[in-house]
Each structure stands twice: as structure tokens, then as C-alpha cells.
Structure 1
Amino acid sequence: MKIKATLDKIPGGMMVVPLLLAATINTIAPDLLRIGNFTQALFVDSASALIALFLLCAGAQINLRNVGVSLGKGMTLLAVKWIVGATVGFIAYLFAGENGLFLGLAPIAIIAAMTNSNGGLYMAVVGQYGKEDDKAAYSILALNDGPFLTMVALSIFGAMGFVDGLFSLTSFISVLLPIVIGMVLGNLDSEMREFLRKGSDMLIPFFAFALGMGIDFAAIINGGIGGVLLGIMTVFFTGTAGYFVFKALRWNPIVGAAEGSTAGNAVATPAAIAAANVTFASTVDLATVQVAASTVTTAILLPLYIAFLVKRLEKKGKLAQYISKSA
């Protein structure tokens, strides 16, 4: 059986399939894997530990040496992603209903999905339409992996009085320390970076499954539909913003649009946020499913949107201009 090959064919399959499988098991037979010892420890209770290890591995991929001319592009994309995601999340908190949702979406899911991006999709687009400093910009974009930027947005909203509770300094450190340790290890030793990169890939289906074991479809039956909407918003809001900002700066706008996605690892962000501040625990299950659905939606929709933008530039006779500059 070619299990891995099959999962690789599914957008976000290494994360989405285990999560949905576990959620199905938890909904139909919640006690099936809650039998104690190693089985329960790995498949039910391991989410926090595995996410912490994943964040350490992800932190190791942040290369502080390869910034150079890519610094401006990377910081611009990072800022656009965060500003758009945080703004939409802020609007969601302002107009959320009594159930704490906005258009059926958990505000924490909006921020987590829209401020995080799929590095694989970005590199695929840039590999075809960008140049080396566009690729190197990902060393800066890696900063949006994990819960950090989501926590920053939520803390700002808390200080403004729009979110109940702030993150203490200890809470910030407790979530960020694995990332910082990984970043130090990866920048001190490139072999450690490569070693931890492999670990990062391996951990995704396991923490996704453990997260799924905390999800009951009966309580979040509308989560997937909301997640599709979230994915559409992510592509068109953040992708379009990146396109026009890059165009205004006379950079390749296709590269700017390449950030309009949600990364599979963003599915861990709601749980990490709730671990740092219990105030957000009530919407974790819903937010997790919506972020997962957004991951799949953006993986399918973003390439189609990029193709549309490329054809649009071709019709205007401007694509060759950007491609030649990106050669």
C-alpha cells in the first residue's frame, strides 16, 4: 500500500487526514483509544508535547544568515500577512454574535489561518515566477509559522479591551521558548537544522491525530463549511493584498500573491493559544477544524488564483517584464 503517496496527493493530507480520522473515532467511539498507558499517551494525550517539539523543529528552519537582499521582501510579505489577518480578526471580534462567532467563524481561527502561510505553495510559485531573493525571503516568512503572530494580535486586542484576558510574559515565553531554542540550534549548526527539518515533517500527522481526538463532530458540524469560507477569504484577502503591495513597490506581484494560503501547521495554533490562555479554550475545537479546512481550500484555490493573475498580466503584456526581472 502506498499510504504516504496517497496522503501526499491530498492537499494538506498529512495533517487533514489523521485529524479527521481521529475526530471520527472520537465522535463514534470516544473510548476506543482511551485505554491508558502508551496507547492513550501517544494517540490521545500527546498533542501539547508533540506541538512543542514541532515548534522547536520549525524554529530551527529560521535561517538568520540568509536575509541579505531578501530582507525587504520577506518583511513586507510578513507585515502584509499579519496586518490583513489581524484586521479581519479584529473585525470578527467586534461584530461576533452571542456565541462568539462571526459568520460562523471563530475569530481565533481567522487570525491563525490568515497570518500563517504554506511555505510549500509559496516556494512552488516563486520557483516558477520568482528569483533567488524571492526564495530566500522565506527565511523571514518562516517567522509566521506557529502561534507567535497570533498571540501578538490577541494581546493587542486584549490591551484594547476587545478580548478577555491578556497573555502574561510567562505565557509568551512558555510558547515561544521551543521556537527560540530551535532557532538557536539551527543557526549554530546547519546539520542540526537539517536533522530537525526531518523531525518537523514526521510530527505533523501524529499531533494532528491527537488534536482530532479532542474534536467531536456533533458539536462542530458547521466547522468545515466555515473553514472553506475562511480559506477563500485567506486567498483573496491576503493574496490580493500581497499582489498590489508588491506591484506598488515595483516587485513581482505574483510573488506577493503567493502568500495567500494557510499552512498545515497552523492547525496547532488554536491549541497552543488555549494552552497559554484558557480564555480561548471554548472555541479551540471549532477553530482547529476551520483552520484545517482553510488549509485544504487554499491549497486548491491559490494555484488557480495565481494562474488567473498570470493570465491577467499576460493579456496586459506585463508578465514578461516581471519574469525577465526575476530571471
Structure 2
Amino acid sequence: MKIKQTVERVPGGLMTVPLGLGALLTTAAPHMGEFFGSFTGVLFTGALPILAVFYVCMGSTISARALPGVVKRGGALLGAKVVLGVLCGVVLGRILGAQPVTAGWFAGMSTLAVVASVNDTNGGLYMALMRRYGTTEEAGAYSIMAVESGPFITMVTLGVAGLASFPWQTMVGAILPLCIGMALGNLDSELREFLGSAAPALIPFFAFALGTTLDLHLVWSAGLLGLFLGIAVLLGSALVLIAVDKLIGGNGTAGVAAATTAGNAAAVPMLVAAADPQYANAAKSATVLVASSVVVTSLLAPFLTASWHRWAVTKAPRNGRN
């Protein structure tokens, strides 16, 4: 049987097929992990440990000479997402303020929902897509972008006074596995080959674990508004990030892959509301909308990334001949 070849015919198949399988299983049987327990149960909630190992393996393939490129790419994409979030916050803040829309087609939409959806990139998905369609340095760039995880950037964007701080332990923890991998790979070429060869094999496993956090019912609950938000976040962010990626020497693929909403972003509205009560009315609907954006962007981004990469690769030779 040609299972691997069949899966790879799907754009980003080694990522999207396990991701979709995990989402379908958790939607159809949300307690499956608890039912089986043991190793099977842990796999349903184990994306982060697998990602930590993936970071080490991936880091082992990054030479010390390539480090400036990792910082450059990660910093540029992070900065672009922060600026985009701030612009969304300023524009929508003037129109909606802190309260959600109360009637009409956009009932439930809020500044909080949009900013939380824009600010946080799905790191596991980004790294898997870059491991497939980009370079090691582009994949490693998420170690810098990881600063956007959690409510910090959203709180800063919304101007929540007194909470604009980020624990240094979290910042170090975000890049420590990658740094350990880099150190091992640069100290021992055999370890570089050993660990580096393991990175691709980890992608389907953490993709499945990520998929089990995506309840497809959320798309239905949010309705067309949630679908609209997810598509708007994906396409709007992609346009900005493609331009930024090209400015720093890429072909735009990393920009498309970064135009997603992370799973943990769904928790941000409630955290922001706890810090600033004026967002309490918006938090409930924002949570559902952000969760919908997580599902929509996670499912569509691999196909858009694959299509953009295919177009960029076929376009490059023509440019070279002109």
C-alpha cells in the first residue's frame, strides 16, 4: 500500500491529514482519550511535549552561522503581526469600543475577538508547513514568534494597564529546546544527522495531537460569522505577512504559513476580561469566534500555503530568465 504517497498528494498532507483525523475523532467522540487512557489518552493532549522534541531535532540542523537569519525572520513576522493587531485594535476600537455588536449579521463580533484571532500564530502548524515547504531557518523563526503566545500581546494591543509584562521564564522556555538542539548539532555532526532526520517523522504525531484540540462543532456554533472571521484573519494576515516575508528575502510562503490563529488564543478573551472588566460582555462571544478562527485557519492554511509555494517555485525560474 502506498499510504505515505497517497497522504502526500494532499497539500501539506503529512500535517493536514492527521490534523483533520484528530479533529474528526475529537468532534465525534470527545472523550475518546479519557476512555482509552494510558499512551493513547496522552496522545490526545500531547502536542506540546512532541513539539518540544521537534524543536530539539529541528534546532540540531541549524548551524550557528544561520542564527541571524532565524532572528531576522522571526522578528519580522512577529513585528508584522503585532502591528496588524494594533491597527485592527485602533480601527475597530474607534468603531466598536470594548463592547460587542448586539444586533444584525455581525452580532457578537468585537474588537477583542478580532485582535485575539490576529495576534497569536499556530506555531505547530507553522513549523510543520515550513519544514515541508520552507527552510530550517524559516521553521526555527517561530522560536522568536512564540512571544505572541498567550494574552500578553493582546493585552498590550488593547492597552490593559499594569499587565503589559511577560515572564522571563516563559520567554526562555519558548526557545530553550531549539537552543539545546542547536548546541548539540553544532558540537557533534553525528548528532545533527541523527536528530535532524527524526524531525519529519514527528510532524504527523503532533499534527494529530493538535487536531484533537479542534472541535468542529465550534465552527457550527459560531455560524457564518465565525467562518467569515477565520477567512478574514487568514487572508488579511497573509497579505501583510507575504509582503514582509518578501522584504526580508523570502518568497512569501512563511508569511502564508504564519497567517493562522493558535489554539490557546481561544482562552485569551476570558483572560483579558478578567484583567479588564470592560471586556466582560465581549468575552463569551469572542471565545467562540476565536475558537472558530482557530479551526478555520488551521484547516485552510496548509492548502493556501501549498498553493502559494507551488506558485512561487514555478514563478522563480521565469523571473530568472527575464
TM-score category (smaller protein): 0.5 to 0.7
Alignment partner of 1:183: what SS? helix
Distance 1:179 1:40, change over 3 A: same
Deviation at 1:90, TM superposition (A): 2.8
Match for residue 107 of structure 1 among 84, 100, 116: 116
Q: Greater CA deviation, 164-173 or 6-15?
A: 164-173
1:64 to partner: Cα distance: 0.8
Q: TM-score, normalised by structure 1?
A: 0.67
Match of 2:104 in 1: none
1:130 is aligned to: none
C-alpha separation in 2, matches of 1:176 and 1:89: 23
Q: Is 1:289 aligned to 2:295, yes or no?
A: yes
Q: Report the equivalent of 1:24.
A: 24
Q: Is contact 2:230-2:294 (8 Å) kept?
A: no
- Give the structure with the higher percent helix: 2
Partners in 2 of 1:197 and 1:263 — Cα distance?
23
Contact 1:224 1:289 in 2 (8 A): no
Deviation per CA, 1:204-231: give whole Å up to 9, x if none: 2222222222221111346666555444
Alignment equivalent of 1:303, drawn from 296, 310, 315: 310
- State the one-letter code of the partner of 1:90: V
Give 1:1-327 correspondences, 5 Å limit: 1-66=1-66, 77-94=73-90, 95=92, 98=100, 107-108=116-117, 111-112=120-121, 118-119=129-130, 123=134, 138=135, 140-146=137-143, 148-151=144-147, 155=152, 158-159=155-156, 162=159, 166-221=165-220, 226-243=229-246, 245=247, 255-262=250-257, 270-271=263-264, 279=271, 285-286=291-292, 288-292=294-298, 293-304=300-311, 319-320=320-321
Q: State whether residues 12 and 303 of structure 2, in contact with CA within 8 Å, keep that contact through their aligned partners in structure 1.
A: yes
Aligned residue identity for 2:13: G
Contact 2:216 2:295 (C-alpha < 8 Å) held by counterparts: no
State the 1:309 CA deviation: 7.8
| Aligned CA distance change for structure 1 residues 187 and 290 (closer, same or farther; 3 Å) | farther
Quick check: 20-29 or 224-233, which moved more?
224-233
CA RMSD of aligned residues (A): 4.2
Contact 1:61 1:186 in 2 (8 A): yes
What is the aligned-residue identity percentage? 24
* TM score, norm. by length of structure 2: 0.68
> Aligned in 2, Cα 1:185/1:48: closer, same or farther, shift over 3 Å?
same
Q: Unaligned stretches of 5+ in structure 2?
A: 94-98, 101-107, 273-282
**3-state SS in 1 of match to 2:35:** coil
Instruction: Check whether the contact 1:62–1:142 (CA below 8 A) recurs between aligned residues.
Output: no
